[in-house]
Structure 1
């Protein structure tokens, strides 16, 4: 089975086109090498997927016939991602909390005063 189809079947990407684009951009590596979307996947190969600034590592256990349900995904792949990668994801979430959320518009007078006070305390 092609790597882009496999990643779509085990639900790492919402569409097969997204999986193909990730391969073309070099976000998918097999055994340490960047690969093309047409690369064939076999059992017991290690795949590294860079998605949302996290490097997921999986081992292929079996090849599915078609896209599988979320509960059955673990029959076809083994997640061997190190815990440090998930810690990076938590740090990213905390760093984004500082910024204004989308749709909140321009800063208010109070926000501007807080910003000015912060900058005046730096000197």
Structure 2
């Protein structure tokens, strides 16, 4: 899958080719926004990724830890793009657990805004009973 000029590939271009982001501009913005880390440190869009390096990518609610298996500057189909990287087992498990929690609504309680005076009294009464 590697081509001759793939030895020098920018990180933003690789993320786009691996289909983590729809455009290179989005990939660059994510990198500059601190959503891409290598060895615990923020990266720059011009960083040259190397095979075997581990990156942590945050997209939306999800955080992925991927290891680079191959380099490419060409954006191809999803099956070929998935061969460029391998997601770690613990990363897959964390994402699935987080998705299950989101689906169950465990991340937050949806409210209609501030509680009314009656609801506030009930809440205070409930909290007092807990202590």
TM-score tier by shorter-chain length is 0.7 to 0.9
Among 50, 55, 79, the residue aligned to 1:47: 55
Higher relative contact order (CA 8 A, sep 6+): 2
Q: Residue 98 of structure 1: CA displacement?
A: 6.6
Question: Quick check: 1:83 aligned with 2:93?
Answer: yes
Number of residue pairs matched by the alignment: 109
In 1: Cα distance, 2:103 partner to 2:23 partner: 25
Q: Residue 92 of structure 1: CA displacement?
A: 2.4
Question: What TM-score do you get using the length of structure 2 for normalisation?
Answer: 0.70
| Misfit runs of 4+, over 2 Å | 92-100, 118-123
**Is the contact between residue 54 and residue 86 of structure 1 (CA under 8 Å) also seen in structure 2?**
no
Question: What TM-score do you get using the length of structure 1 for normalisation?
Answer: 0.74
In 2: Cα distance, 1:31 partner to 1:25 partner: 17
| Residue ranges of structure 2 left out of the alignment (5+ in a row) | 1-8, 126-131
Change (3 A) 1:77 1:21: same
| Residue ranges of structure 1 left out of the alignment (5+ in a row) | 101-106, 108-114
- Give matches, 1:1-123, under 5 Å: 1-80=9-88, 81-95=91-105, 99=110, 119=119, 122=123
CA RMSD after TM alignment = 2.4
